[in-house]
Amino acid sequence: MNLHITSYCQIHDKKVVVNDRFIFYMENFLNFADFLKAVYKQEAISYPKFFKMDSLSKLGFLATELVLREKPIGRYCSEEVGIVLSNASASLDTDIIHNDSVKDKSHYFPSPSVFVYTLPNIVIGEICIKNKIKGENAFLVSEFFDGTLFENYVQNLFINEGTAACICGWVELLGNNYNALSMLIEREENMEKTGNQPPWNLPFTAENLNQLIIRN
C-alpha cells in the first residue's frame, strides 16, 4: 500500500512551518502561552473553546488546524479518518499544574478545568470534536520520536481498520520546551491531482518521518 504525507505543520523553536513555508516567527515572547495565542490570532482561527484548552491541547490543535487548512478532509466520511499522536512527556505539563493546586492542604482547590486535561489523549478529543473525526485514534507515549512506530501503527490502521486518511504526529510539551509535528497521511489513490511537489507530498516512510521531525 502506498501512503503519502500530503500536508504537514511543525511548531518548534519560536517558528511555525507549513509545507516548508515559514508562516510565523516570534523572537521574543513572555511565555509559551503568549506564543500560542499570537499564532492563533495571526492565522485568524476562530474557535472560542481554544482558550479553555491546556497548553498541550492548544499546541496539537494549532498544528493540526494548519495542516487541514492546507489539505481539508471534508471529502472523507468521519469514520474513515483516524488520528495517532505521540510524545515523551504525556500530560506532565498539566499534571504539574494540577498537583500544585492540591499539594497545599490549607489552600486545597483542585480545578476541574485543569483536571480534565490530565490525560494526554484529551488533545485528540479536542481535534476530533473540532473536525468531526470519528475514526480510530490512539495516543502513544514514547521516549523519543519513533518514525518506525508511526509507520507500523498507521499502516495497520489503513490495512485493517478501514482508514482512508490519518492525522499523525508528535506533540511534545514540558514547560517552555515544545515541538509539534502534525501530518496528514492519505492513500495514493485518494490523493487529489493538484500537481503539488515534495516536500508536502512525501512517501510515508519511517525514514521520511525521522527526517521531517529534525529538518526545521
| Residue 168 near residue 206 (C-beta atoms within 8 A) | no
**Which residue type sits at 66?**
L
Domain 3-215 sits in which CATH superfamily? Thiolase/Chalcone synthase (3.40.47.10)
Residues 6+ apart with CB under 8 A from 184: 5, 6, 7, 8, 67, 68, 71, 73, 165, 166, 167
| Residue 147 near residue 210 (C-beta atoms within 8 A) | yes
Please report how the helices 55-70 and 92-102 are oriented relative to each other, as an axis angle in degrees rounded to 10.
Answer: 150
* 131-163: burial string, b at 16+ Cβ within 10 Å, e else: bebebbbebbeeeebbbebbbebbbebbeeeeb
State the pLDDT confidence band at 194, using cuts at 50, 70 and 90. Answer: very low
For the stretch 172-183, pLDDT in tens is 999 889 999 999
Please name the helix (run of DSSP H) or strand (run of DSSP E) that holds residue 114, with its range, or none. helix 112-115
- pTM, two decimal places: 0.89
Q: Where are the domains of the chain?
A: 3-215
| Residue 183 near residue 98 (C-beta atoms within 8 A) | no
**Pairing between strand 202-203 and 3-12?**
antiparallel
For the stretch 98-150, pLDDT in tens is 666 666 665 566 666 666 666 788 999 999 999 999 999 999 999 999 999 99
Strand partners, 11: 16, 180
Mean pLDDT for 50-60 is 94
Residues 6+ apart with CB under 8 A from 55: 32, 33, 36, 93, 94, 173
| Residue 87 near residue 170 (C-beta atoms within 8 A) | yes
| Residue 3 near residue 155 (C-beta atoms within 8 A) | yes
Q: Report pLDDT for 190.
A: 75
